[in-house]
Structure 1
Amino acid sequence: MNQNITLKQTGEFKKQTNSDASVRLARNAAMRGEIEDLAMDWESFRKIDHTFSDIVSGEMPVTNQKSSGRCWGFAGLNLFRIYLGRKYNLKKFEFSQSYFMFWDKLEKSNYFLENIIATLNEPKDGRLIMHLVENPIQDGGQWHMFINLINKYGVVPQTEMPETFQSSKSMRMNRMITRKLREFAKLLRDAHGKGAPQKNLRSMKADMLETVYRLLTIHLGTPPEKFEWQVRDRKKKFHRFEGLTPKRFFTNHVGLDLSDYVCLIDCPMSDKQYNENYTVEFLGNVVGGEDIRYLNLPSNRLKETSVNSIKDDNPIWFGCDVGKHFHRTLGVMDMDLFDFDLFYGTNFPMTKADRLEYGDSQMTHAMLFTGVDLDPKGKPRKWRVENSWGKNRSDKGFDIMTDKWFDEYNYEVVVHKQYLTDEELKTYKKDPVKLPPWDPMGALAK
């Protein structure tokens, strides 16, 4: 075969394609319809069922991250509010998502500038520097980045720092702060090139961070330091708490020990091993905080720990590739919902490992498991998912993930350490193997 495409070949392609009635049918349908709807399998569609054998107590109306990438923080705060709601018998409550966003952006800015200082001798057109400057204050994040913020800054009710236009549509804010951070990276590298010592660079960094703080205040408002919280519970009983600080609010009213939670991944790539502990270099937000830490286990172990957690009435933070085999309106993640092989006349046989290694899949979204549907033998059939895309879709914003989809596109769960074996917990505490900054296991933080 020739290296180039010949006109003779294209003529043959056309002849073969147009002679296939199934291609003509699919083409005509695709002109005026969504592929996901056209390729939907009737048998799978008719079996969509939003009932579950086990659901945790204390679910609340879903939240809405709108046009922002704060899913990881929304999922974490939605987990917290379940425990807060049980404590005070609340029907509805939201923590401030803008508050955690403010401190995350400031900490990411400092983390970025420190990474620039740590890589001053790297070529500016090398892969590492290009990676660092690509998205220095992206909206995304990971579990350990979330708990670093909570441990340092605490939480506040949404009434104390409500959503703004910019927090709900963060692209412009991110673009403006990113522009400044790239400018600051150049200034630091230029100063280093002229012989400036480290103390001078960090003095420059302090002024830079003041500028970032100013920009964040313009977009998000000023984070509160003290506040009072008052609320009525389901029985109309009034509660008021005065003299609160963000850290005291978390410690006294949420009360979870975040050090008890472990992060598990299922990553079957050829460069990784099961029963091994991993981290991702140059991924984080709080300098001096906890590093990203993943224990790589087979999917069945992620499911076993998740089932046990839900049966004990504990929701689960998780990360997945939400855009694959997912109908957003119906709120269904199902490998069998779409018959793409039939619609396109070709199959898509890549494995989970293949998709990760060739850029076809990565973690893109974090949510909560709040329920599971177990068969008579106690095996999961599907999972109840609390998303953060608002209530006007799916089952009032709660989605379905089939167990088969879990195996293929779910990558991470966060569970209490009590659900791990002694050997697994021992491995989790080991010094982790370092993965490069561009590894797909770090993609949720983009």
Structure 2
Amino acid sequence: MQQSLSVSTRQIVCLLALLHYAQTTFLGQVELEDGHVKCLASRLQRGGLALRSSFLAYRLRGGAPPPLVRTRSVIEKEKQDEGVTKESEPEEDAVAQCKKGDGKTAAIGKSSHVEHDSQHHVPIVIAKRKSTLSSLYDVDFDEKGVLGTGTFSTVRVATHKETGMQYAVKAINLVGIQPQTLVRLRREIQVLRSLNHKNIIQLYEIFEEDGKLFMIMELCTGGELWHFLQRVEIFPNGEKIYYSPQGKVELSEQRVAKIIKGIVEAIHYCHQRHVAHRDLKLENLMLESDDEDADIKLIDFGFSKVFSNSNGMYAILGSPYYVAPEVLRAKAPLDARGGQGYGCACDMWSIGVITFMILCGQAPFDGENDHERLLAVKRGNFTYPPHANLSSEAVEFINALLTVDPNKRLTAKAALSHAWLRQNTKGTSNIFSQLKRFASSLLRWGAE
């Protein structure tokens, strides 16, 4: 009885704080910084979710749609691709604690084999906790509760018993998990715990039980950006129509700019904290909901890296359509000889590719297979299709990102100041969305 009263008191405190937040927010306590509206309320913790591989296929009015091609997060070397070599790079912190062989990130070519007992799971080594998943959450184990599946994981809907709020729970089977997969998992957890941004999906808590790891994350019901684009029809005059659950909506440059701005803001936040994502693509971006003004969320930090200098990364990894040319040319230093590394500018190249895909309905660099696609990326030559019909500002924005020389490429900070983003995203701050996220955190804190 005493414990129940304590919880109730905390929840009352939370609601009072929420009311205060709402009052101060709607009284207009905001500040303008670099032309963007920035709420005085504190930022909220964000984290990562599952991934799936696929590729954009617009419906082109008056012509056959391009073939559907699936992308892979690990680029696999083809025998005829003599120009791309397999290299590794040192990993840091939690990643460095992995077993023998885990210090190498996934790269082009076959990954090194590390023997392990497939009958036992390798613990992630997280803090022990008294509570269990079932004591705090009701997980929907029905078929309708499945949000997504992977080789080692399943994502389901979970409801917090105290607050009634819904979350996504990613269950990862640790039995027989490959060492390289374990490296990515540890890296993702480590990075997500350090990030706090509205455009990065939030990791709330972790449970490790019965050979499985359960990651409690923010629930996004809008699906991947790739799925969003499957419902887009593009016309010869450049007009794009999005078939939303609520009906037909024009996919204007203004709407696209709002999506891209959310991605750039998330990456700018990461780069300020010396974190490079290194696997930006349509499949690793999710919409918070089906609403027209839904926030975009960056997910899957399995290939991310905390970098210490501007060109200190060497692992060749990513996805064929989106990888930057300097990543494909990377060579790790051997002995006293200097290598050829790359920096966080690789993320900005990927944003350029994503922007091109959304506005043009096709990839800027393509080919019959991954080998041809990678060669096209290394050459860096692309053209705009006749149906694109883009504004001059949009073309300038894409060209400044798809610049082969990373030193001449737009940085995240510079991209946020570009005319295309500034002119198309004025007054798009979603205060109601921020209030909703703040309420979620308060209610969870009150129930713990």
Q: Does the alignment reach a TM-score above 0.5?
A: no
Q: TM-score, normalised by structure 1?
A: 0.23
Structure with bigger RCO (C-alpha 8 Å, 6+ apart): 1
Larger Rg: 1
